Structure 1
């Protein structure tokens, strides 16, 4: 599909990504001549997914797989099931995966997938049919050395198992490395479920140390309480922070003395959302952005921190657990207000880092302990953040622009050295 089909606005996901590329150009030197490749996904695939529902009717869903860049290695990125999925969103998410993988120096390019569907209205059997048909349709461009999907919004280990099995059946050989985030007994990795949230905590801990913010006693607000938000909240609470507010699709809860994160996780698992949690009081949707806190973790969807909300935030440190949660205008406002933002492309890279570990373990058929996984993850995340911080200090730029500078230099250097074929 030609890019003219996508007409991004300034704060749309793709528009936000393009503005981030514009900002990094002055720091790319001679490599800037290759920058146009960053604005054009290498490959976009749109597929029709027809399935027979349990009631006998035929339903059609639209699915996507976008490979933004394969310059540094196979595509890598999740698959999301959500009623608001669009091609533009998937393009942006695939591009951010290119940046994220390069920022932590993983040997991957960037890719992303999605289906426009509300999975909550499908039965388990319908969900399996949807997943298997989608996998068959995108099977022409995925593979252990081509493009490796993973879980994202509303997808999980079971869906990855169906994807792996479908691809394996179609190719005639078991290919555990075609996806990551699988169940353990199908080649999954220990530590994968909580890896993204752990990465948020590790980068947040290092950023707090650098700005002189004591985590012990610090108040934390978390938007989104799925795998990422809940894992990060759990780790911050264990480090002595007070998780005072949490918000998801069901509502918002607040407790100034700290929410019990373990009890809240159990409540979410049982009820499907944070609303109604007995250990906190209900708050309005917009009140969440006025909560008195030192650390804010947006771990839900894109464009949650708007310009208007950026003016109201009381946090000193924003840790982007979600992809693209801060609009470009909001980013500038937060910078002017002295609020430090640890950007998504480094902050939430823990998930893809442990996905890389899973991929490596699948190829070698040799698996590591969870302690080994966490130690390797912490080392990579801290090293990557330190490199980015040094770049930010050198150029006197934000951590986001510095992350893009580091990542784009790696991507474009590889592009230049590979050359153009034919």
Structure 2
């Protein structure tokens, strides 16, 4: 069975590629960049598509299609996640690779952008099938990844287990242990403390700084989070630890709402064995659509793309939207929120905590010197706060919302490096 990635399964889906290119063009116009340089940045440097035959548990062979898009390596090795999800398309992966370029540039990390993925439902496969799928995919990419070439990481549908399989497969292929080939690994094979919660922690830091800009403390602030996976759950726990009141969280089944605040630690324990929030007894049931329109200080869309659209942007009542997911707000929705005075913390800033700690893990792996969690979190805090400060200063200087301010900084840094390096040959 060959799975095609040519078309999105949802005809109403707005591909992040449209969002990524629109934001690039807007930044280029503000910065008055050379059209040739913009054309270079619009086009991925390398697109890899491989066939992945896998023997399933019933003995049948299924053939999956795997992609790795390497967008830009002007600032350093390619960096980006590996996504296992039924909605994966080549076009989506290409746009997310571009987003990674801007994210790394904005945070001042010496990486370029990449992204990979397989259109597969990982929950429909056994652990053995997933391992065979991951190892075969990695073996097809051995010549195109590496600690100084392209460093994959977890994404939707993947985690530390898959990264360990990737590292082991690559290491067996090159003949020596190579902990720097991937990040997001288990601690036992060179992972970093603090990595699991890093993206969620970054969302909290960015939200805190935005609240402080508006003269409001995180303590006592009301928070609604769509998505209770790796990012949303970690963010919810840290928000609660910092004294914020998390009034709503949701997963694919729906969510729970309590205006007085949910017990996030208890909810995290409840879903640990695979239970769904719809069956929890806490608070009252709320749909994902309703959660997005709750009155709150901070709304965190931390699920998938295209959650706040032209259809519901006018109903968003949050003061701040912190993009925990990649491209959860469409172009038209962004315009509506901007006109209504809603502060949007763009994905290339708000959810950059994961790539920051991935970078710190990579540095630790190359040096074989590992840090405690306090040091990792301190470095994450410094980089996130510095990036937010630069974006805010850019926004004030050019009278821009935070998204175009962030993009002008990120795109400008890459173009500056492109001009200084020159065009080979």
TM range (shorter): over 0.9
- Equivalent residues in 2 for 1:199-238 (5 A)? 199-238=202-241
Aligned to 1:58: 61
Residue 123, structure 1, aligned to residue 126, structure 2: yes
More off after superposition, 365-374 vs 265-274: 265-274
| Structure 2 counterparts to residues 12-161 of structure 1, below 5 A | 12-31=15-34, 33-161=36-164
Shift of 1:256: 1.5
Please give the root-mean-square deviation of Cα atoms over the aligned residues, in Å. 1.6
Cα deviation for residue 154 of structure 1 reads: 1.1
Whether the aligned pair in 2 keeps the contact of 1:234 and 1:262 (CA below 8 Å) is yes
What displacement does 1:417 show?
A: 1.4
Secondary structure in 2 matching 1:77: strand
User: 1:309 aligned to 2:312?
Assistant: yes
Aligned to 1:287: 290
SS at 1:191 equivalent: coil
CA contact (8 A) 1:253 1:281 kept: yes
Shift of 1:30: 4.6
Q: Could you list the structure 1 runs, at least 4 aligned residues long, displaced by more than 4 angstroms after superposition.
A: 5-10, 30-33
Deviations 1:330-387 (A, max 9, x none): 0000000000001000111111000001000011100111111111110111011101
Structure 2 counterpart of 1:389: 392
Distance in 2 between residues matched to 1:254 and 1:104, nearest whole Å = 34
Question: In the alignment, which residue of structure 2 is the partner of 1:244?
Answer: 247
Give, in whole Å, the separation in 2 of the partners of 1:183 and 1:84. 27
- Provide the rounded CA distance (Å) in 1 between the counterparts of 2:243 and 2:179: 39
Q: What is the TM-score of this pair, normalised by structure 1? A: 0.96
Q: Tell me, in whole angstroms, the C-alpha distance in 2 between the residues paired with 1:324 and 1:396.
A: 23
Q: Do structure 1's residue 362 and structure 2's residue 365 form an aligned pair?
A: yes
How far apart, CA to CA, are the structure 2 residues paired with 1:62 and 1:124?
19
In structure 2, how many angstroms separate the alpha carbons of the residues matched to 1:30 and 1:246? Answer: 42
Separation in structure 2 between the aligned mates of residue 328 and residue 320 of structure 1, nearest angstrom = 13
SS for the counterpart of 1:318 is strand
- 2: distance between equivalents of 1:319 and 1:134? 33
TM-score, normalising length: structure 2: 0.96
Task: Determine helix, strand or coil for the equivalent of 2:292.
Answer: helix
Q: CA deviation at 1:214?
A: 3.0
* 5+ long unaligned stretches in structure 2: 1-5
Secondary structure of the 2:243 match is: coil
